[in-house]
Amino acid sequence: MPDAKTATLVVDKDFVISEIDPRLYGSFVEHLGRCVYGGIFEKGHPTADRDGFRQDVLDLVKELGVSIVRYPGGNFVSGYNWEDGVGPVEKRPRKLELAWRTIEPNWVGVNEFARWASKVGTAVNMSVNLGTRGPDEARALVEYCNHPSGSYWSDMRISHGQKEPHRIKLWCLGNEMDGPWQICHKTAAEYGRAAVEAAKVMRWVDPDIELVACGSSHPRMPTFPDYDATVLEHAYEQVNYVSLHSYYGNQENDTANFLAKSLEMDSYIKSVVAVCDTTRARKRSKKTLNLSFDEWNVWYHSHENDRKITPWTIAPPQVEDSYTFEDALLAGCLVMTLMKHADRVKVACLAQLVNVIAPIMTVTGGPAWRQTIFYPFLHASRYGRGRSLQTILRSPRYDTKEYTDVPLLECSAAHNPEKGELSIFAVNRDQSADLALECDLRSFDGLSGVTHTVMDSRDLKAVNTKDAQPVKPREAAGAKLDKGRLSVKLPPLSWNVLRMSAR
């Protein structure tokens, strides 16, 4: 066995899990708190463009490399009339928004958001309301967004100043429909039937769209995974993906247990894959259903503050977690877990993008900055392209109150043959000691050069603010690559990115 503080890793270019779908590095914008108003959109801000979008935020989103953004919810969508957000802004209604108990002014709607996404260079993942509404409103929205011209809804879009269709490819059939907190939540059978009928007419309007059915709201729901199984009994052949949502917290301040929660995500993904494949076998289908993990993040810091917010205001500071260095380590473990399931997880959305449990924070009228969780997502989005590789790991392990056999090293690897790059991502969970990592990379011809980016901190609870950003990556020395063997020391409690040329 390896030494107690040594991990060994074999990475082989032929051990391919799957091509990584770029949409694995997606995010989420909901009409919640200051995500839209004061986040991506703020007329009068010093950096705002003529459409009212904050350029400082837009630049940070571009830097993050977000490939697709889910919109407009979330719980919000189950009470949303999309028609309220189109046409002349001055004629749009102000509505009581029941999901989050705010006032929705409808200053931003479908066309504005699509324009923002175009500026960023990201695709749109549009959600339809299957709470208070149904298939008719859903197919009308597809027609409004995607049909070129010559019909009622497409011509309405043109009359609103948007001549070209948005050509939105990916659509979510509602949101968390099993949750009692959801407006008009449904039983699995009720939702399954609604999803089938919505899917049918939406595809009649545009046969090229892809559809995501709602799975359970999270793996701790009492009806999981039966809800998912029943929904898929109805909708398996009509959809392309089933959704997963999960958030993770450290309310008990147990670092060892908190950093092991990526094992829970791993188990959750495997369970939903099993449900999909069981349904496939039962239906004798030739179709493989993939997964959209369209809400994931750390979320627990803001719960107490949210109880104090005055209802029925516009864009209050809801769900604004100030992320610690410790949170960034788990975020790194979570994004690596998604990469390791790239064969079935084709879409994933870090929830959310700005201000609301987000990698980017702003001050209304003031600056924007990068939270601690910005960096692991940035590195994965930038370097985790190409093929996800199966890693053969031997690592010291530990137990927590919830998990057993937790490896000190969490890792994933991506090989981009087109660019001739190999990237290894790693978190050392050890709280006090370096972890020596020995990697066998001899299958890669002509492997040369190694850069080691590390993010660590002496303060687990360190946060980045508008005034100071102490948590950020640095370049480290000491990694050695010789004849296909890599040796490196990973600092205690650290996020690491090792990059090499593999032409």
The model's pLDDT over 102-139, given as tens digits with 9 standing for 90+, comes to 999 999 999 999 999 999 999 999 999 999 999 999 99
Q: What confidence category does residue 445 fall into, taking pLDDT thresholds of 50, 70 and 90?
A: confident
Dihedral sign, Cα of residue 313, residue 315, residue 318, residue 322:
negative
What is the rounded distance in angstroms from the CA atom of residue 236 to the CA atom of residue 276?
8
The pLDDT of residue 502 is 75
Q: 């007329």: which residue's tokens? A: 43
Q: How many CA atoms lie within 13 A of 305 on its CB side?
A: 13
The pLDDT of residue 439 is 97
The pLDDT of residue 503 is 65
32 touches 356 (CB < 8 A): yes
Mean pLDDT along residues 451-460: 97
Dihedral sign, Cα of residue 326, residue 327, residue 329, residue 334:
positive
What is the rounded distance in angstroms from the CA atom of residue 337 to the CA atom of residue 406?
14
Mean pLDDT along residues 352-356: 97
Query: 398-432: per-residue pLDDT in tens?
Result: 999 999 999 999 999 999 999 999 999 999 999 99
Name all domains of the chain by residue range, CATH numbers in brackets.
Answer: 6-15+388-502 (2.60.40.1180), 21-383 (3.20.20.80)
233 assigned to active site: no
pTM > 0.85: yes
Q: What are phi and psi of 16, to 5 degrees?
A: -90, 125
Indicate the average pLDDT of the chain.
97
Q: What confidence category does residue 188 fall into, taking pLDDT thresholds of 50, 70 and 90?
A: very high
The pLDDT of residue 20 is 98
Q: Residues 222, 224, 229, CA angle at the centre, nearest 5°? A: 140
Please identify which of the residues 97, 112, 295, 410 carries the catalytic annotation.
Answer: 295
Please identify which of the residues 42, 104, 176, 326 carries the catalytic annotation.
Answer: 176
Model confidence at 4: pLDDT above 60 = no
What is the rounded distance in angstroms from the CA atom of residue 212 to the CA atom of residue 347?
10
Q: Return the CA Rg of the chain.
A: 23
Query: 268-318: per-residue pLDDT in tens?
Result: 999 999 999 999 999 999 999 999 999 999 999 999 999 999 999 999 999
Q: What confidence category does residue 193 fall into, taking pLDDT thresholds of 50, 70 and 90?
A: very high
Query: 43-77: per-residue pLDDT in tens?
Result: 999 999 999 999 999 999 999 999 999 999 999 99
176 assigned to active site: yes
Cα→Cα distances 374→118, 377, 428, 469, 496, Å: 22, 6, 18, 12, 14
User: Which residues, including other chains, have CB under 8 Å from residue 312's CB and lie 6 or more apart?
Assistant: 96, 101, 102, 103
Model confidence at 1: pLDDT above 70 = no
Among 79, 181, 85, CA closest to 130: 79
Instruction: Copy the structure tokens of residue 22.
Output: 């770029």
